[in-house]
Amino acid sequence: MHFIQILLLLALAAASTGYDCNDFIIPREEWGAVAPRKDDIKSSAGRVFVHHTNTRECITDDECMSSVKEFEAFHREILGDEDLDVHFLIGGNGLIYEGLGWDAQGLHTPEFPNDFGVAFIGTFNDSPANELMMNAFEDLIECGIENGKIDVFHSLYGHKDARCSTMCPGAHLYNQLKQLKPSFHRGGKLIKSCDL
């Protein structure tokens, strides 16, 4: 059998199992989001912004779920926002938690509401994000492309590429973005200079 035929069979086998890349994302209903789901995004995103939550890191499933709930509560109760500001969150346990989800606009990087924001739970100034988190992030981007939610020619940014007055994401995580596979295209600075 030719290699290409084997590939075709493998693709058909994968399709017939009904595998959905969204299966590895924990929906907001499951972690107990308070705000209702929204559906107002305009087009497939050309940019993905990486953030940190600026909270302690989480390791266990219980800790990570609490972190996500606390993050939502911080936005709603302390900042007075309607909902949290990022589309997905990634825990130190390697799980992805749906924030706003694929179809809602987000305020993570205010100038870019139709682009995706992904927050890594933690700060990452003193230590890097672990391998589980980085793998989950890559899976998430690939899932977005597969679902037509992220443009295949997208670019990745750290929040601080778009804003001078933030340390987000922490230095380690910011540098880790440069170490991803070349298919995850790293965008440059979106602001010219922060020395004003």
Which is nearer to Zn ion, 102 or 157 (by Cβ)? 157
Which is nearer to Zn ion, 51 or 149 (by Cβ)? 51
Q: How far are the Cα atoms of 15, 18, 44, 118, 157 from residue 51, in angstroms, in the given order?
A: 33, 32, 20, 6, 9
Q: How far are the Cα atoms of 12, 25, 40, 89, 91 from residue 75, in angstroms, in the given order?
A: 43, 21, 19, 14, 18
Q: Does 51 bind Zn ion (CB under 5 A)?
A: yes
Which is nearer to Zn ion, 117 or 144 (by Cβ)? 117
Three-state DSSP at 79 gives coil
State in angstroms the smallest separation of the CB of 139 from Zn ion.
Answer: 21
Q: Does 156 bind Zn ion (CB under 5 A)?
A: no
In the block, tokens 């991803």 appear at 180
Q: Please give the distance of CA 47 from its chain centroid, rounded to a whole number.
A: 11
Task: By CB under 5 A, name the one of 84, 95, 121, 168 that touches Zn ion.
Answer: 168
Stretch of 8-16, 21-29, 159-167, 170-178 contacting Zn ion, by CB under 5 A: 159-167
Which is nearer to Zn ion, 51 or 154 (by Cβ)? 51
Task: By CB under 5 A, name the one of 75, 149, 154, 159 that touches Zn ion.
Answer: 159
Q: How far apart are the first and last CA of the chain?
A: 64
| Contacts (Cβ under 8 Å, ≥6 apart) of 132 | 92, 93, 94
Backbone φ, ψ for residue 158 (5° rounding): -90, 150
Q: Is 136 exposed, middle or buried (0-12, 13-18, 19+ CB in 10 A)?
A: buried
| Adjacent-strand bridge partners of 52 | 120
State in angstroms the smallest separation of the CB of 175 from Zn ion.
Answer: 16
State in angstroms the smallest separation of the CB of 29 from Zn ion.
Answer: 25
Which is nearer to Zn ion, 9 or 164 (by Cβ)? 164
One symbol per residue from 77 to 116: x for binding Zn ion (CB under 5 A), - otherwise; what is it?
Answer: ----------------------------------------
State in angstroms the smallest separation of the CB of 87 from Zn ion.
Answer: 12
Which is nearer to Zn ion, 33 or 168 (by Cβ)? 168
State in angstroms the smallest separation of the CB of 80 from Zn ion.
Answer: 18
> Would you tell me which residues interact with Zn ion (CB under 5 A)?
51, 159, 168
